[in-house]
Amino acid sequence: GNIRELKHSIERACILSPQPVLEPGAFFDESGQAPQPAQAAEGTLNQYLRECERNYIVQALEKAGWHMGNTASNLGISRKNLWEKMKKLEISGSANGEGSSPP
């Protein structure tokens, strides 16, 4: 049971941590307690996954200065695939966020 719990804690930290290396903050909050799972979101799993994908792509675009080629390369997809995902997820190509309306 303890090994299974440790395995799940490491998996959760790997998924939720934005850092490439896991630090104590990935396992514990400021008070030393394990982070609580987020409340169940409204809507379907597909809606949740769409919002996660959209946020991830917007973050990647911002990190690359909204350069399509660099963003696609960083995401490991083609420029065409990135463009199609942006169109599907209603992400505009502007760096200032105008027109990047939520779905």
Write out pLDDT tens, residues 26-78.
776 656 565 555 555 567 888 888 888 998 899 999 999 999 999 999 999 99
**Residue 87 confidence (pLDDT):** 94
**Residue 79 confidence (pLDDT):** 95
List Cβ neighbours of 53 (8 Å cut-off, separation of 6 or more).
85, 89
Q: What gap in Å lies between CA 81 and CA 15, rounded to an integer?
A: 23
Q: What gap in Å lies between CA 87 and CA 89, rounded to an integer?
A: 6
Q: Which two tokens stand for residue 79?
A: 């420029």
**Residue 9 confidence (pLDDT):** 80
Residues in the chain: 103
**Residue 81 confidence (pLDDT):** 95
